[in-house]
Amino acid sequence: MDLFIEKDKINRGGYYDYSPSNYLDIYDLKVFNARRNLITKGYFNCIINPLNNILKKYGITNKIVLDAGCGECALYNELLDNTKYGIDLSKDAIEYASNTYKDIYLSIANINNLPFKDNTFDCALNIFALKNYEEFTRVLKEDGIMIKVIPIDDSNKYTISANQKLIDDFFNHYDYLEQENIKEELPLHKDDYQDYIEMNPELFIYDNFEEINTMSWNVSILVGRVKK
């Protein structure tokens, strides 16, 4: 499908490479492997299931969808069947995804300069990733759906205020459709401690992994439509 601005960037790995020549990949493949393992074991179902319900509700099946910040695509692969495009700046993640998920069109690309033509996608996803609403809106169709998933920190008044700013920013760019808040605590099996730690490197401060026996979710799914 002729959606790309430049079509000569495809490489032998079967994905498009629009990465800046001086880009340094800050993500370790171990992070993506750990996340994939936890996704396949069901730890992300409390996010995947609501996302699929939202896609179905707004008729996003057999449509053209972009995941901006797709990582290794393990989560993206669990979402409803569509013509799927994914971009990420991590070469390791895109190479893994290209070898694993043959039905997703992949690119190493920056969200600040998406390699797609205007008015291309029926829906764009931005899940725990950096945003550029101007670029997302440019590549979405006139009635396109934008879905963003953000982590929520309600531990004090300052973080609550910061959360609200993120939410307000989203709905300043898109017409409000809905917001779904998810707060859930899952028991973490001891065999999965290592993956959980590697997915969250900041947790290496723990000397004893058994101090971490739950996986907590506190997120908000924001759903909007391109403003007329």
| pLDDT (0 to 100) of residue 129 | 93
H helices present in the chain, as ranges: 29-40, 45-57, 74-77, 91-100, 133-139, 157-173, 193-199
User: Residue 106 in contact with residue 3, Cβ under 8 Å?
Assistant: no
Is pLDDT of 126 > 80? yes
pLDDT bracket for residue 17 (50, 70, 90): confident
On the question of pLDDT at 202 being above 70, the answer is no
Say what the pLDDT of residue 13 is: 55
Residue 196 lies in a domain: no
The Cα-based distances of 104 to 8, 38, 68, 213, 219 in angstroms read 18, 21, 13, 34, 26
99 lies in a domain? yes
Q: Are 78 and 86 in contact (CB under 8 A)?
A: no
The answer to whether residue 211 is domain-embedded is no
51 domain-assigned: yes
Tell me if 208 is assigned to some domain: no
Q: Look at residue 61 in the predicted model and tell me its pLDDT.
A: 95
Tokens 């990420």 sit on residue: 88
Task: Tell me which of 29-38, 66-75, 147-156, 199-208 is least confident.
Answer: 199-208
Neighbours of 135 (CB within 10 A): 17
Give per-residue pLDDT as tens, 44-76: 999 999 999 999 999 999 999 999 999 999 999
Is 149 contained in some domain? yes
3-class DSSP state of 112: helix
Residue 91 lies in a domain: yes
Torsion of CA 91, 120, 54, 220, to 10 degrees: 50
Query: Is residue 218 packed enough to be buried (19+ CB in 10 Å), middle (13-18) or exposed (0-12)?
Result: middle
Q: Is the pLDDT of residue 1 over 90?
A: no
Does 140 map to a domain? yes
Amino acid at 51: L
The answer on pLDDT for 77 being more than 90 is: yes
The range of the structural domain enclosing residue 94 comes to 16-185+218-226
Number of domains in the chain: 1
pLDDT for the residue numbered 180: 97
What pLDDT shows up at residue 29? 81
Mean pLDDT across the chain, nearest whole number?
89
102 touches 77 (CB < 8 A)? no
User: Is residue 117 within 8 Å of 66, Cβ to Cβ?
Assistant: no
CATH number for the domain that contains residue 26: 3.40.50.150
Q: What is the pLDDT of residues 172-188, one digit of tens each?
A: 999 999 999 999 999 99
- Amino acid identity at 147: I
Q: Which of 68, 80, 189 is nearest to 126 (CA)?
A: 68
Name which of 78, 88, 122, 67 is nearest 16 in CA terms: 88
State the residue for tokens 């707060």. Answer: 183
Query: In this predicted model, what pLDDT tens digit does every residue of 204-219 receive, in sequence order?
Result: 555 555 567 889 899 9
Q: What CA–CA distance (Å, rounded) separates 62 from 81?
A: 6
Distance CA 106, CA 122 (A): 17
The pLDDT confidence band at residue 194, using thresholds 50, 70 and 90, is confident
Average pLDDT of the residues in 120-147 = 97
